[in-house]
Amino acid sequence: MPDRLHARASHATVLVIDPSLADRAQICECLNQLPDIKVIAAGEAELALQIVREARPSMILLDSAQKGIDGISLTRSIRSWEQAGSNAAYAPWTPIVFLSSVNDENLLAQGILAGGDDFICKPVSEVVLLAKVRAMLRIAARQREICDVHRQLKDIATLDSLTGIPNRRYFDDTLAAEWKRCLRTETPLSIVLSDVDFFKQFNDIYGHQAGDACLKAVASTLSESLFRVEDSVARYGGEEFVAILPGTDASGAYAVAERMRQSARELCIPHERGIGGQLSCSFGVASTHPRADKAPQQLLRFADAGLYAAKRAGRNRVEINSDVVGCN
């Protein structure tokens, strides 16, 4: 890839997009005076877009005159790509500074409206260029730190503080999203709702610290019982856990629940009031093909009914709610 990499051990990457080979070389030579940065250069808009997607530069210096696509259109394309990501709400902002040999106020205004952040006139002053790059990289670094904090806060908000697995909020959001997706793809959706048997008695006998350790162990083994990345387990509340199994029918969900039941049993946690002197869990399974005239909470209610059926039948077992399964 010609004229692409000017390697240096880097904490930040600056992409220079300029159709002039001489101008690119001059700007890159100037930027190489800055410590701890990597400079990447491109002479064509198409190559520049590819580099943006692959290298995700910390900053972009963009000549407003490009071959095939003008600098303003290229800026719009970069901003659109940034916002199209799966985490657009926390997408890092990449500073874009225009370079132009034409001192045109209208061009400057159009560039800013398109998503640009600053403007440098050509011929480029070395002092001005280095000062603006330092400033933009400093601002971009702080903005990325803010994005990281937002992501961490989001993770904290959707994780159960005791067990470390997703919490009820995560479950509610994920169930609503998977319901819509399975409705669109016409695929089944299953839920497995579980409860630690005789957990109140466990706390009374062994204490709350032992109870917390028990819940952590159960959460971990239930999560490890899932083999597909699209499946997830959340703490529903207290000693209850719930699994969402998109694209899984009733028989598949039953098999997952049974694997979970055995895994919980194999923890071999002593419980003198439990089934056979050991800790166990009960499971309710519900499965359906989502419909526009139904709500995901109905599926949850059917799983809850299955769980209570498992408890009435003696605990340490899996029960499918046939009412909802029959509606598939």
pLDDT more than 70, % of the chain = 91
Same domain, 97 and 191: no
Could you tell me the CA-to-CA distances from 154 to 160, 235, 249, 270 in Å, in that order? 12, 17, 31, 36
Residue ending a domain, choose from 132, 157, 182: 157
Q: Is residue 193 domain-resident?
A: yes
Residue range of the domain that includes 233: 168-325
**Active site residue: 105, 230, 239, 266, which one?**
239
CA-based R_g, the chain, Å: 28
Which of residues 157, 176, 202 is at a domain's end? 157
Return the pLDDT at 7.
Answer: 37
Question: Is 162 a member of any domain?
Answer: no
Q: What is the pLDDT of residues 155-208, one digit of tens each?
A: 778 899 999 999 999 999 999 999 999 999 999 999 999 999 999 999 999 999
| 119, two tokens | 């403007």
Whether residue 301 lies inside any domain: the answer is: yes
Same domain? For 210 and 140 the reply is no
Least confident of 46-50, 67-71, 229-233, 323-327: 323-327
pLDDT of residue 87: 55
Give the number of other CB atoms < 10 A from CB of residue 200.
12
Can you tell me the distance from the alpha carbon of 61 to that of 89, in angstroms, rounded to the nearest whole number? Answer: 24
Average pLDDT, the chain: 88
If asked whether residues 144 and 273 sit together in one domain, one would say no
Question: Is pLDDT at 134 greater than 50 in this prediction?
Answer: yes
Both 120 and 38 in one domain: the answer is yes
**Beta-strand pair 12-17/59-63:** parallel
Residue 109 shares a structural domain with residue 152: yes
pLDDT, position 325 = 53
What percentage of the chain carries pLDDT values higher than 90? 63
What is residue 3's predicted lDDT score, i.e. its pLDDT? 44
Do 236 and 87 have their domain in common?
no
Tell whether the model's pLDDT for residue 89 goes beyond 70. no
pLDDT at res. 112: 87
Pick the range with the lowest mean pLDDT from 121-125, 153-157, 261-265, 290-294.
Answer: 153-157
Q: Is 239 a residue of the active site?
A: yes
**Is 188 within a domain?**
yes
Q: How far is CA 219 from the centre of its chain?
A: 21
pLDDT digits (tens, 9 = 90+) for 34-60: 988 899 999 888 889 899 988 889 999
Residue 14 counted as domain residue = yes
Amino acid at 272: E
What pLDDT, on a 0 to 100 scale, did the predictor assign at position 67? 61
Residues 194, 62 share a domain: no
Same domain, 134 and 272: no
Q: Are residues 320 and 209 in the same domain?
A: yes
Would 101 be classed as within a structural domain?
A: yes
Tokens of 207: 């204490």
Number of structural domains the chain divides into: 2
Could you tell me if 285 and 251 are in contact, meaning their C-beta atoms sit under 8 angstroms apart?
no
Distance of alpha carbon 19 from alpha carbon 195, whole angstroms: 65
